Amino acid sequence: MGKLGRFACIFTPMALTIASLLCLCLALSGQLNKNNSFQNSLYFFKADTKNFSENPNILPNENVDSTLLNALKNSASAKDLKDFYKVGLWNYCEGDTDDKGVETVTYCSPRKTAFWFNPIEVWDLGNTTVQTLFPKELQNGLSAYEKVAKWMFAAYTLAFWITLAEIVLGIFAIFSRWGSLVTTIASTASSIFITAAAITSTALYGALAGSFETALKEYEIKGSVGTKMLALVWLAVAFSLGAGLFWLFSTCCCSGKSNKSKKMVVEKTPYTYERVASPYLGARNGHEDTLPLNPVPHSGPSQNSAYEPFRQTKV
């Protein structure tokens, strides 16, 4: 098949790996630039506090804690409570929503490794009593979120760098199957971390959104997951798994060596015998005799058999 066939065999997994890396880059860029509308649309979790900000006159009841309600009212009146909060992997962004539902990002927090969204700090509710008065569901959700956020950040970071290494190794896979084997190992590791990160973020932010919805429903505060962000992450998983399958295929196929057809050469024996005419009969069939007129007698007892009936010729 040759090098051209080998290149064609490597092209598919390489393209899938690059596609997986691009999806990861887009997911990691969510909420990093407040002036980029596309990046602002990419978030794992969104807290919608618009209704509370517009109508803080919520009456306490058996499901509403007056201490927490008053703390939220004070935050809203001090303009510390915005209309929405969108959470990315590195930071969060906040902003306002107009009457037409158009969102405007006004602030994005600094980037931070192993970031997790803490509403106590962000909403300026830095009161130990208020934190303990959070509904139990929300407390459990935030506690799990804080613990798992470190692992999730590490999984996304490792997935990014291993996928990048996979692309570099894939270049060497063009020249040999050993290169494909090494690239397949890197692809397997990449797929494991991408899949683990996708499962973790889907489960974690889904549980957090459920906690917000259950615990803060009476306060007109809602939580939701970012479907566009999760779609990108799972698309990266699909591309990574597909790339791994084709990298594995390239280890046993498309060697890159040219199979040149070999011609079989039949060697003739170095010497053969052909019959010659009798020296006494003269020329036969238009050919002269090949023996001399005065032949050398053959050594032996009989002179009648002194002449060799065949002559030796080289082919």
* CB environment 288-314: b (16+ within 10 A), e (fewer): ebeeeeeeeeeeeeeeeeeeeeeeeee
pLDDT of residue 42: 93
- Cβ neighbours for 6, distance < 8 A, ≥ 6 positions apart: 174, 175, 254, 255, 256
Mean pLDDT over the full length of the chain: 78
In order of 167, 176, 259, the CA distances from 256 in angstroms are 19, 7, 9
47 pLDDT exceeds 80?
A: yes
Mapped onto helix, strand or coil, the DSSP state of residue 82 is coil
* Coarse DSSP helix, strand, coil percentages of the chain, rounded to the nearest 5 percent: 50, 10, 40
Q: Which DSSP helix (H) or strand (E) runs through 35? A: none
Structure tokens at 17: 């790996």
Q: What is the SS3 assignment for 157? A: helix
Rounded CA-CA distance 180/188 in Å is: 12
User: Average pLDDT, stretch 61-89?
Assistant: 81
| Range from 93-107, 162-176, 217-231, 281-295 carrying the lowest mean pLDDT | 281-295
Domain locations along the chain = 2-250, 263-315
pLDDT of residue 54: 65
- Mean pLDDT across 93-117: 88
**What pLDDT score does 97 carry?**
86
Whole-model pTM: value is 0.72
**Among 130-134, 215-219, 291-295, the range of highest mean pLDDT:** 215-219
User: Beta-strand (E) ranges in 89-146?
Assistant: 92-97, 103-108
Q: Mean pLDDT, to the nearest integer, of 297-312?
A: 51
Predicted local confidence at residue 203, as pLDDT: 92
Pair of tokens at residue 210: 């459920």
Pairwise pLDDT comparison (51 vs 253), residue with the higher score: 51
Given a cut of 70, whether residue 302 has pLDDT beyond it is: no
pLDDT at position 160: 94
Q: Any idea which residue has 């069939």 for tokens? A: 285
pLDDT at position 62: 67
Per DSSP, the three-state class of 104 is strand
